[in-house]
Amino acid sequence: MKERLKTALLLVLVLSSLVQSYFLIYRLPGSGSVVKSENSYIKTEDMGPEAKAENLIYPKKMIIHLGEDKHTVFYPGQMFYDLVNNRLKGRTFESFQRRTLNNMDWSKLRASSKGIELSFGSGIPVTLLQKVMQITPDSLFEGESIHKMWLYSIEGEPKVHALFFSTEGDVVYEAAQADLTVQDIHQLVDFGLDWVPYTLQEGTSFYMPEEPFDMVSLEMPIGMYTVEQMQRSLFFDPSITRNIRERDGSEIYTDSKRSLQVDQGQNWMSYTDPAAPPSGESSPGKDVLSAIDFVNQHGGWNGSYRLSQSEDNEDRTLVEFQQYHRGYPILNTFGFNYGIMKLELQKGTVTSYERSLLYVKTEEQKKKIVKLPAGDELREKLDKLPDSMKIVDLEPAYLPFVNENGLRLKPVWAVQLLNGSMQVLE
């Protein structure tokens, strides 16, 4: 009898041990498994907030054509920008027809017609635009990337024209059916009647403000992600990483497959995973979503960002996010890397990830209104640039500096050149 009891007790202990081991490995239902796949994006540490794709996709500016060759510009965060953007998000666009740019007199259209240009800068895949706008699926249109939308009405015509400009050559798509009336366009355009007047700079495609432009100079306290945090976030098993110090002072952490290079002077990190196996088919739109998921799980978003680039380069996709504050971009400069996140993907898998280790806290300090030059004063500054600098755009921006109080954001005019680089007008 005693032997049977001992056998039964031993069996109970063995079963209890097995059950306990199961829960230690897989945890309780609903609490998430601790078993990781080396290739999945699994959040390991709460560093920064996550972001949804629809909060990262929006125009860099809106050019409002008032008719009679009058224009103004709205920027993200401004009241009228938000009003126009929110109204357009609820409108439907469908039945797309392909046209060529050469068939339109764009100069006449800008000068005489009332309308709204939504500029996205570089191209945004249509599949991503569908996340923020009511664009009906269309096989002809869905494979495109769009860098600009133009909604306008022509006097005497009862319909609104809705054009979507492709990044590929001279192609433009018109939505034959748009849930907008001429009255809708006129009401939206009228928001700009009393706004800062802009003039199309002669011989160029960018607009010049004719009145001083108000921005806020400010400072913000900063924090910094540690190397240990990034290691725990990026490596499958941080305990097996080893450290290599380079001659330039930077440090490399590697587990023999992946590497994390940290520039302590710039507080900048570069992560590479060249051996990441492809996860399958991809497209520019899917790759952007994968990039967003990756950032969500590996560092989060230290502020407001906008998708500024999605470039498909053979078997790789380059994705870049630009940081904004108060609706204006924070520039990444040669002397101070900050304000952008860069990712490279191969067939949907992130193989490269770059970002600053610095992050701003919410409190704004030492705020002061600054008036940026406009009109003839601004033209004189542009005229002093070398002739070799072909200007394609002009925008207000923040130039970042780090001082003893944190991050200083200085308002400046930023000039975008034909080669894609930025030039700051001091």
Query: What is the tens place of the pLDDT at every residue in 33-58?
Result: 333 334 444 444 567 899 999 999 99
What pLDDT does residue 378 have? Answer: 95
Residues 209/132, Cβ–Cβ less than 8 Å = no
In our burial notation (b when 16+ CB lie closer than 10 A, e otherwise), range 202-232 reads eeeebbbbeeebebeebbbebeebebeebbe
User: Over the chain, what is the mean pLDDT?
Assistant: 85
Report residue 20 as tokens. Answer: 């306990």
Q: What confidence tens digit (pLDDT) does each residue in 73-97 have?
A: 999 989 999 999 999 999 999 999 9
Is residue 402 within 8 Å of residue 390, measured between CB atoms? no
* Distance set, CA 248 to CA 4, 131, 263, 272, 417 (Å): 72, 44, 9, 19, 31
Q: Is 256 left (phi over 0), alpha (psi -120 to 50) or beta?
A: left
Q: Is the pLDDT of residue 386 over 90?
A: no
Nearest-angstrom CA–CA distance, 193 and 70 = 9
pLDDT digits (tens, 9 = 90+) for 259-282: 999 998 889 999 999 876 666 677
Task: For residue 261, give the nearest of 251, 249, 248, 247 by alpha carbon.
Answer: 251
Q: Which helix (H) or strand (E) holds 382?
A: helix 375-383
Helical spans, DSSP H, in 122-280? 126-129, 182-189, 227-234
In the predicted model, is pLDDT for residue 409 greater than 90?
yes
The band of 173, judged by pLDDT with boundaries at 50, 70 and 90, is very high
Q: Answer yes or no: are the C-beta atoms of 353 and 342 closer than 8 Å.
A: yes
Of the two residues 414 and 312, the one the predictor is more confident about is 414
User: 377-408 as b/e, with b when 16 or more CB fall inside 10 Å?
Assistant: ebeeebeeeeeeeebebbbbbbbbeeeeebbb
